[in-house]
Amino acid sequence: MDWNKETLAAVIDHTLLKPQAKPEDIQRLCEEAINYSFASVCVNPCYVSLAAKMLTGTNVKTCTVIGFPLGANDTSIKVKESQRAIEQGAQEIDMVINIGMLKSRELAYVGKEIKEIVNVATMGNGIVKVIIETCLLEHDEKIIACKLAVDNGATFVKTSTGFNGPGAQINDVALMRKTVGENVGVKASGGIRDYQAALSMLAAGANRLGTSSGVVIMEAVKG
C-alpha cells in the first residue's frame, strides 16, 4: 500500500479519551479531523452529541467507547450505554470485553455481551470494534477473544484501550490479523505516536489506527 496523506488519513481514528478533556478540546479535535479527513473522532460518551453535531455534513464519523477502560460493567449497562451513544449520533462503538470473564473461560458470557452490543449498533447503522486489551491476555486468550468477536458480528477487533498497560504491539496486530482473516478489521491503538509507528502497525495487518497523534503523523507524511 502506498500511504499518502489521503490514504493514511482515511484509516485514523483521531482520539481524545483523557478524563480531563474539555468541550473546547473536543471541538478542536473535530476541527482537526475535518481538516485532515480522518476516518473518525473517538471520544468519551459524554461528548458524543457534541462531536456528532460538529461532524454533521462531513465524512468524519463519530466514534465512542463503551465499558471503558476496564470492561467490567454489567452487560446491561454496556448495552444501555451503547443505545444512548447511537441515539446521540455515534456511528462506531469501541467496546471493551469483560476481561475477567474471558480469562475464567466464561466464553458464553463474553460472546453474548458482544452480540448484544453489535445488535444495538447495527440497528442504528453503526459498527462495533471489540477491544480485547492484548496487554492483559495470554497468547491463546488473544486468539479466543478475536474469534468471539468475529463469531458475534464485530466489524473490527482492537488491540488496546491504552489505559491498562502497553498499547499496540506489532506481534499482537499480526496475530489478530492472522486470526480474524481478511474480512474483519484490525484496529491498532495505544502508543502510536509517530509516522513510522503508524506504518509499522499497518504493515503488520492493521487497517485502522487509534491515536491522539493524528496531526503529528499527518504532518510527517511526505508529498
Which among 61, 94, 142, 172 is annotated as catalytic? 94
| pLDDT, tens only, 141-176 | 999 999 999 999 999 999 999 999 889 999 999 999
User: Domain map of the chain by residue range?
Assistant: 5-219
| Confidence band for 117, pLDDT divided at 50, 70 and 90 | very high
HEC assignment per residue over the chain: CCCCHHHHHCCEEEEECCCCCCHHHHHHHHHHHHHHCCCEEEECHHHHHHHHHHHCCCCCEEEEEECCCCCCCCHHHHHHHHHHHHHCCCCEEEEECCHHHHHCCCHHHHHHHHHHHHHHHHHCCCEEEEECCHHHCCHHHHHHHHHHHHHCCCCEEECCCCCCCCCCCHHHHHHHHHHHCCCCEEEEECCCCCHHHHHHHHHHCCCEEEECCHHHHHHCCCC
User: What would the mean pLDDT of 80-95 be, rounded to a whole number?
Assistant: 98
Is the pTM of the predicted complex or chain greater than 0.95? yes
Is the N-terminal amide bond of 166 cis, ω within 30° of 0?
no
Active site residue 80: no
Which pLDDT does position 1 carry in this prediction? 75
| Confidence band for 2, pLDDT divided at 50, 70 and 90 | confident
Which pLDDT does position 115 carry in this prediction? 98
| Confidence band for 223, pLDDT divided at 50, 70 and 90 | low
Residues in the chain: 223
| pLDDT, tens only, 166-222 | 899 999 999 999 999 999 999 999 999 999 999 999 999 999 999 999 999 999 997
Pick 5-219's CATH classification: 3.20.20.140, 3.20.20.70, 3.30.565.10, 3.40.710.10.
3.20.20.70
Active site residue 94: yes
| pLDDT, tens only, 11-55 | 999 999 999 999 999 999 999 999 999 999 999 999 999 999 999
Active site residue 115: no
Which among 61, 78, 129, 187 is annotated as catalytic? 187
